[in-house]
Amino acid sequence: GQNIDQPTEMTATEGAIVQINCTYQTSGFNGLFWYQQHAGEAPTFLSYNVLDGLEEKGRFSSFLSRSKGYSYLLLKELQMKDSASYLCAVRDGDYKLSFGAGTTVTVRA
């Protein structure tokens, strides 16, 4: 099975940087994903890591350490529209995704 932990809530100021950590213990690993989900909507894909290191995509970056079972999502230059839930998900060898409970990020002016 999968055990995925991430903080419940985080608050930051517009223009700032926020780092959302995710730790996992899994029975199989075939990649780690970060999704953004606004209330009442489906998740949208943000980033994907399968090898150790940092992946950068514009204002969003994601890091993975497989030996530590650890990942983080870094959001830079926060905007009000970034207020959402951020889901860490681990994919196993059968391509099933298991999701963490999500981190609600609130961006304040």
The verdict on 10 binding other proteins (CB under 8 A) reads no
Q: Which is nearer to other proteins, 40 or 58 (CB)?
A: 40
- 100 burial (CB, 10 Å; 0-12 / 13-18 / 19+) is buried
d(CA 68, CA 88): 15
Q: How far is CA 34 from the centre of its chain?
A: 4
Per-residue mark of binding to other proteins, 44-73 (x: CB under 8 A): xx--x-------------------------
The least distance separating other proteins from the CB of residue 83, rounded to whole angstroms, comes to: 15
Q: Among 18, 20, 24, 33, indicate the residue that binds other proteins (CB under 8 A).
A: 33
User: The tokens of 105 are what?
Assistant: 């990020």
Within the chain, what is the greatest distance between any pair of CA atoms?
Answer: 43
The minimum distance between CB 62 and other proteins, in angstroms, equals 12
| Beta strands 103-108; 18-26: pairing state | unpaired
Contacts with other proteins, residue ranges (CB under 8 A): 31, 33, 40-45, 48, 87, 94-102
